[in-house]
Structures are given as C-alpha cells and as structure tokens.
Amino acid sequence: MADVCTFDLPDVQEVMWQRYGDYLVTLGGEAYREKVFAYIDKEDSPRSLSFQLELLKATGFSHYDVLHRNSVFACYVGAK
C-alpha cells in the first residue's frame, strides 16, 4: 500500500504539511499547491501511518512492515 499519511503529533503534522505545500509550489506555483490540496480534501482521507498499521492488526493481518516513508507519503505491506 502506498498512501498519503498524516502524523499523530500536531506540531509535526503542521511542519510536514507546510513542507509538502512548499514543495508543490516549486513544482507548479501556488495554484498547483491549492489544486493538489483541494484534490486531497475531496478524494482522500489521510490517516497517520500508525493508525493504518493498527488497522492492519485489527483486521487480521499478522505481519506488516513499513517499506518506505518520505515526508507525507508512506509505503507499507501486510500479510495474513
């Protein structure tokens, strides 16, 4: 699974979301940042990585591992 992930600590979430927004501005300007953020608000419901890993356990996955985390993106795997 690869997904946009939030952070459990509000201060960390604020800093990382700001950094992601700054990155988006370098790619396509402020309008692009707003477009991406609007898309996330409409089409996604980001949760923290720890929430998603706990959900794997709660739904019967006996093994899981984080393959990669970079900024607000994470990739993880679960196996039953």
Written as tens digits, the pLDDT of the chain (80 aa) is 999 999 999 999 999 999 999 999 999 999 999 999 999 999 999 999 999 999 999 999 999 999 999 999 999 999 99
Q: Which residue has the tokens 């800093």?
A: 15
Report the Cα 51 to chain-centroid distance in Å: 11
Cα–Cα separations (whole angstroms), residue 12 to 6, 7, 19, 35, 65: 9, 6, 11, 23, 22
